[in-house]
């Protein structure tokens, strides 16, 4: 209830929402269903150094991870 209210209030103020702490695919799906535009956390990848992030952006990814969201 609190999370839904915070997301709604941000949208009412014309803001987009970034959620921190999406640990599982289930967390990410719930945030999506609540209308959260962006999320970050272990569900998307582990923390990395600035150098590792740069290398990731420069190199062609060898593996991609997609989040499948069931139809409502």
Q: Are 10 and 2 in contact (CB under 8 A)?
A: no
Name the pLDDT band for 67 (thresholds 50, 70, 90).
low
| Whether the predicted pLDDT of 46 surpasses 70 | yes
d(CA 19, CA 2): 13
pTM given for the model: 0.67
Q: Give the burial class of 27: count Cβ atoms within 10 A of its Cβ; 0-12 exposed, 13-18 middle, 19 or more buried.
A: middle
Classify 10 as helix, strand or coil.
Answer: helix
Q: What is the mean pLDDT of residues 38-65?
A: 84
Say what the pLDDT of residue 23 is: 95
d(CA 32, CA 23): 14
């Amino acid at each position: 209830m609190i999370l839904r209210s915070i997301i709604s209030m941000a949208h009412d103020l014309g803001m987009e929402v970034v959620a921190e702490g999406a640990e599982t695919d289930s967390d990410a799906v719930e945030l999506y269903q609540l209308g959260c535009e962006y999320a970050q956390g272990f569900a998307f990848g582990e923390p990395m150094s600035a150098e590792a992030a740069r290398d990731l952006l420069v190199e062609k990814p060898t593996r991609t991870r997609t989040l499948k969201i069931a139809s409502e």
